[in-house]
Amino acid sequence: MSMNLSRRRFLSNSAKSALVVAACGVIEAKGGSVFVNSVVPAFAPFAPQSGAVQPVFARLDEYIARHMRETGAPGLTLALANRDGLIRASTYGFADTKAGLKVENETMFEIGSVSKSFVALALVQLHDEGKLDLNKPIAQYLPWLKINTKFEAITTHHLLSHSAGLPGQPLLLDALLGELWTAYEPGKRFLYSNTGYNILGFLIETLDKKPFPDAMRDRLLAPLGMTASSSTITNDIRKRMAVGYKPLNEGKPFPLHGTLAEAQWIEVDVAAGSIASTPGDMAKYLRMLLNRGALPKGRLISEDGFKLFTKPAIDSPYRGEPASYGYGLWVSDIEGHKRLRHTGGMVAFSSSIDADVTSGVGAFASVNANLRGYRPVAVTKYAIELFNASLDGKKLPDAPVAAPAADEVKNAVDYAGEYTSTNGKKLVLVAEGEKLILVHNGRRMALERPAAAGDRFIVKHPEFETFLLGFVRDNRVVTEAYWGPDWYAGERYTGPRGAFERRKEWEGYVGHYYNDSPWYGDTRVVYRKDRLYLDGLQPLVLRGDGKFGIGDPEAPDWIAFESIIDGRAMRLNFSGIPFRRMSTP
């Protein structure tokens, strides 16, 4: 028997059976083992007893087990689907590490910004029904919405495609209570905006004349048969949810395999990311995407509506790859295949969806942890690659290459040398093969480079745990080092070394600021050389209105320092979100 799936067998109708086969076991991976629980259709042509799909499942399970060990993910849920529906729903690891409870197929995970495509679909439905003009100014539907702009009016199309020029940072509805603003001409630049999608939630309420959760349930979850999902994250579903985790030392650099702690539980009802679901239900969502809006009976949106939903609206790379953003999804052409993709990040969940509309296979994955920028994109991508190879009768691809060890620094020699601060403090760095060693107070510490951190490193030492240690290059040569407020000139630095011009009032802005919402947490402002920095990394650039731009003074997000008492700012205002000064360093 061929170990590859024929395209006809794989995509043939399996709707005749609603029965499933459940299996559980342990996958051995380097550094330990991972528990897996899976459910597959019992009588589909690709059922487990046929053996045809086993190599795909085996490769995928083996990779996921390794991936979880490498990333420190406590639990993971995975949905695989084709145009007939569920291929396999599988879960891995723990829903509750303290209680030792494993992730089950009924365990709910927060899908984060994958919810945005649900919001977009609801609005395309309203467009299909003649109730919404996507190019009409949003203020004509929501007259209470105040947007200060010197540009043309913002439309629903601009909000759906993240091209409205609105602030990118604020997530909570507090941002909508005052006056919003734009920095760019609508339709010209992509700037991801949770605020924009929260506005769209109010638009759905207005047009449907019912609360947003009810509208999403009636328009999407019910027709899709997603009966195990919830349109909002509420206390009522908490007992069905996986426990979410985040770094124990919030606000400080998080090393690979750093300590995680249970995240604060919060209810979420904002349109930017409010859905919780299971792998079985997400397979139903994938089935609809792969059928271009069609359901087993009828359609969720019209054929023209699906074309509009997935039409590239504005160029926007997807995690470094060429892509465009449509309505609630990134749209890509990869080797002639149309791919619909998105990620989701919550306080304590990380998700990824990938649907290959051309070949008719899709994957969704979610992890119950916030691992600082991580998303399970590699898992969903590899799942699609495996099934596409099998469909085409090709050799199954090898799993993605393991990430290098955190303390592997191939260009360590670039940073070696002695660096001196203006007050005489020194940093001594030594290259030992592919390790970069900091020699400090008689101790030798190997630096760790976080993923995609470039010239920035984690130093596992109490004196350095608050900020990343970074380096500056001049014509590709490392010449300077910095850590929080401290600046160091390297042996190859030729610029000024004396005292830098500093503004007295800015000294009062330096400090540790905190917001009670787990969405924001804390941030630190430092004064290094002649400039303020957010968390020691992002430069604050003074604007003409007295506020500070974050890197780009023309961007819509800003920082302002308020409530000055005895020369010190008691509050930091981040695009309308207040942070109060803390006495802690």
Q: What is the pLDDT of residues 105-125, one digit of tens each?
A: 999 999 999 999 999 999 999
Does residue 499 fall inside a structural domain?
no
Does residue 2 fall inside a structural domain?
no
CATH number, domain containing residue 39: 3.40.710.10
Split into its structural domains, the chain has a count of 4
Which residue's entry shows tokens 């750093």? 258
Task: Assess whether 252 and 357 both reside in one domain.
Answer: yes
Task: Assess whether 386 and 523 both reside in one domain.
Answer: no
Q: Give the residue among 562, 519, 527, 547 at the shortest CA–CA distance from 169.
A: 519
Task: Assess whether 483 and 375 both reside in one domain.
Answer: no
Q: Residue 543 is part of which domain span?
A: 504-582
Does residue 84 fall inside a structural domain?
yes
Which residue's entry shows tokens 């992002």? 538
Task: Assess whether 251 and 359 both reside in one domain.
Answer: yes
Q: Give the residue among 381, 376, 384 at the shortest CA–CA distance from 77.
A: 376
- Ramachandran category for residue 373: left, alpha or beta (phi over 0 → left; psi -120 to 50 → alpha): left
Does residue 322 fall inside a structural domain?
no
- Output the pLDDT for position 171: 63
Task: Assess whether 359 and 243 both reside in one domain.
Answer: yes
- Output the pLDDT for position 7: 47
Task: Assess whether 340 and 280 both reside in one domain.
Answer: yes
Task: Assess whether 255 and 344 both reside in one domain.
Answer: yes
Task: Assess whether 248 and 383 both reside in one domain.
Answer: yes
Which strand (E) or helix (H) includes residue 212?
helix 212-216
- Output the pLDDT for position 403: 86
> Residue 325: helix, strand or coil by DSSP?
strand
CB contact at 8 A, 290 and 82: yes
> Residue 141: helix, strand or coil by DSSP?
helix
Domain final residue, candidates 456, 489, 522: 489
Does residue 397 fall inside a structural domain?
no
Task: Assess whether 134 and 75 both reside in one domain.
Answer: no
Task: Assess whether 239 and 357 both reside in one domain.
Answer: yes
Task: Assess whether 257 and 181 both reside in one domain.
Answer: no
> Residue 251: helix, strand or coil by DSSP?
coil
Does residue 314 fall inside a structural domain?
no
Does residue 402 fall inside a structural domain?
no
Which residue's entry shows tokens 């799993």? 399
Whole-model pTM: value is 0.93
- Output the pLDDT for position 45: 47
Does residue 70 fall inside a structural domain?
yes
Domain final residue, candidates 464, 489, 514: 489
Task: Assess whether 11 and 88 both reside in one domain.
Answer: yes
Q: What would the 3-class secondary structure string for 444-479 be?
A: EEECECCCCCCCEEECCCHHHCCCCEEEEEECCEEE
Regions of the chain where pLDDT drops below 70: 1-21, 29-31, 42-51, 170-172, 175
Q: What are phi and psi of 406, to 5 degrees?
A: -60, -30
Q: What are phi and psi of 222, to 5 degrees?
A: -65, -50
Gyration radius (Cα) of the chain, Å: 25
- Output the pLDDT for position 44: 54
